[in-house]
Amino acid sequence: MLLTTGILLLSTPQTVLIVTLVVAVIIGVALYFLNRYATKKQAEQNAAIESTKQTISMLVIDKKRMKMKDAGLPQLVIENTPRLLRGSKVPVVKAKIGPQIMTLIADEKVFDQIPVKREVKATVAGIYIVDVKGIRGSLSNPEAGKKKGRFAALLEKVKEKAGAKPLK
């Protein structure tokens, strides 16, 4: 409704709806620009990793997910990590590279493929493991030895009883 003074009068639900829509649009635009910035930064980091990576052979001693501050990484790495991420768990690999034992950070995609107490050829950029290949034979498939959940085991048992799947 437009009055003679030029002010638009709205009811309370209409005002609340307009304000929430404006806030939602502002948040959407902010997220769009943050996503573009993060994508550009990630592309730069991937280019830096590609330029510095090298293939080395290493004997994997141990691997586990631990907090960054407890992993035994160099102090410089911990200082350059954002404060909120210092407490998050990262995939850490202890390996013997030549005569030296080092603590490395593995990529999430590669971490499950890394065998413990075996020698592997790894592509490393700094202290970051990018890729892993087996030296003697291929790496074992991590999904093959994975335990099934309760529902999957129960479903398999029911299928065996029904005759839909042959017994082992």
Our count of domains for the chain comes to 1
pTM of the entire predicted model: 0.64
What is the CA angle 69-74-80, rounded to 5? 75
Residue 83 inside a domain? The answer is: yes
Find the distance separating the first CA and the last CA of the chain, reported in whole Å.
76
Task: Identify the CATH number of the domain in which residue 133 sits.
Answer: 2.40.50.660
Residue 156 inside a domain? The answer is: yes
| pLDDT, averaged in runs of 10, over the chain (168 residues) | 61 91 97 96 92 93 91 88 87 94 92 91 92 79 63 83 64
Residue 133 inside a domain? The answer is: yes
The pLDDT of residue 83 is 87
The pLDDT of residue 166 is 56
Q: Which domain holds residue 65?
A: 52-168
Residue 37 inside a domain? The answer is: no
Distance CA 71, CA 64 (A): 9
